[in-house]
Amino acid sequence: MKIQRPSGQINLMALGLILCLLLVIGGALALYHFKGRNLTVQDITAASKLYGLEFSLKEQKMMLKDLRSNLEKFRGMREIALENGVAPALIFNPLPAGFDLASLRENTTFIYDEPEEVKLPENLEDLAFYPVTDLAWLIKNRRIGSEFLTRLYLERLKKYGPKLRCLVTLTEELALQQASQADRELAAGIYRGPLHGIPYGLKDLFATRGYPTTWGSPIYREQQLDINATIFEKLTEAGAVLVAKLSMGELAWGDIWFGGQTRNPWDPEQGSSGSSAGSASATAAGLVAFAIGTETWGSIVSPSTRCGTSGLRPTFGRVSRYGAMALSWSMDKIGPIARSVEDLALILKYLVGPDGKDRTVFDLPFAYNSREDLKKIRIGYLKEAFDRVRNNKDKYLAVLETLKALGLEPVEIKLPAINYDLISFILNVEAAAAFDELTRNNLDELMVRQGRNAWPNVFRQARFIPAVEYIQANRLRTLLVEEMARMLKDIDVYVAPSAGPNLLLTNLTGHPTVVVPCGFDDSGHPLSISFTGDLFAEGKALRLARAYQLATGWHLKHPDLSGLEKLEAGNRPVK
């Protein structure tokens, strides 16, 4: 017996099959579109406007198939995981043509003025503001122990760190182990040098095995890297004691991180600037003897200015960046923040040199002579930069008068004529590549700072900077390197207010800068001046900056922290 199905049921089944088929076809078309196979000449016309280019219809049709092929290659590349630490094969070289490396290799002089005697203060907590040179003498001569000093700094970090929002992780267990070892070694007659037993802090972008490395972002708040940064290894070998990992602006921009805004100890209502925000704030507040920061475009100079510390941005290629968060492979630099120029020289001595991991590092000695005849140093000054100053101009001009009183004759110089602001997007492109995954997976929406002037927007817009223009910008950068070499042919060091165009220029060319306090404004906020030297000639810039410091004494002042008690704390430190 036959069963006759109603025709309506057959029609419904047929309709269902048709709908399924349409969904499959639609999905295939969507995938086809997703892969870029339906790119059209209209897309090329619209995209070309972003780059100021024009192509004829014939030219557009001719490139269409290749553009589709390129897009498929891009998608294939994105399936290969690239960790932040993987550097491009293209390496920036700051050396101009004919640069004399041989003479640098021959000069291995390192002389600093070790104190003849250092007295203990009546209030031992005042040791927190002693420079490294004095603390080193006290430890070497066993007037204090490293463990005592370490506990002093740890207690200050617990008390003031959350209030200043400069502390991310307290490395107390590690610190006490390292301090105890330093004391035992000294008792056995083993002395590693001036950093032996000295407590310090690291900007929280350096990998330290066993502790979080958060990069200042909630995205990486729980991140633990199973490596040690070279900078940490070198300082450990020198006998230094890590007491804390300090705040940084999220992904190395500004002073705002997931724990809030890092505060300036001189004025807690003001941020400490960035991105080495915690390194400068903690040093100024006497929470560490010194700290390590990084700079790509002002991140040591700016917070050192705001917090009244001494800072050194070394030559690009001077210090290994292995184990440090990469923001811009061709601009990132690592340097110390401390209380005096002499401290900066002592610390840099232990940081320089290759490690076989960062291929940008040159194998060159660091030469410094604190007794070098000042009159042998040829000095220039950026008159245009001094003329541009609108506020506190008298304080900056007083720097020149101090140098003249030291018997020096600064000569007027001018910066290269090329408009280097035109190529500042080099940083944006490299940063967008370093954090490509955040943009493509919409993780950038989890970042603390949003808006036009923040990383998420910068990462996105940088995707539309053509590779050709990035290469052209770096060719212009070559011209800047050569022009700087010509400018520095007749001088060794030049002086300039710390803010202004010199900051971007020297970060692009890789030249070293020492920044030191030069007074206070009418509101009691620190001001600073910068001494810029030739490539790998940090020693001369440090010598001149030290002479200025000794003649003025601005670096001896420190903030009063009594008003911090009433302030709301930021992120609680991780122990």
Which are the catalytic amino acids?
A: 203, 275, 299
CB of 499 closer than 8 Å to CB of 383: no
> What is the token pair recorded at 496?
């300039």
Helices marked H in 79-199: 102-106, 132-140, 146-164, 172-187
Q: How far apart are CA 177 and CA 171, in angstroms?
A: 10
- Write a three-state SS string for 6-68: CHHHHHHHHHHHHHHHHHHHHHHHHHHHHCCCCCCHHHHHHHHHHCCCCCCHHHHHHHHHHHH
Q: With CA atoms as reference, report the closest residue to 538 among 289, 364, 282.
A: 364
- Tokens 């705001």, residue located: 306
CB of 246 closer than 8 Å to CB of 278: yes
Q: How far apart are CA 288 and CA 156, in angstroms?
A: 9
Q: Produce one character per residue of 215-224: b if its CB has 16 or more CB atoms within 10 Å, e if not.
A: bbbebbbeee
Q: How far apart are CA 170 and CA 162, in angstroms?
A: 11
Whole-number Cα distances in Å, 471 to 49, 474, 475: 20, 5, 6
Helix (H) or strand (E) holding 272: none
Helix (H) or strand (E) holding 344: helix 341-349
- Residue 424, helix vs strand vs coil: coil
Q: How far apart are CA 137 and CA 70, in angstroms?
A: 62
CB of 547 closer than 8 Å to CB of 521: no
Q: How many CA atoms lie within 13 A of 445 on its CB side?
A: 3
Q: How many CB atoms lie within 10 A of CB 195?
A: 27
* Cβ-Cβ contacts under 8 Å for 291 (sequence gap 6 or more): 200, 201, 202, 203, 246, 276, 278, 279, 280, 282, 283, 336, 337, 338
Q: How far apart are CA 73 and CA 78, in angstroms?
A: 9
CB of 160 closer than 8 Å to CB of 285: yes
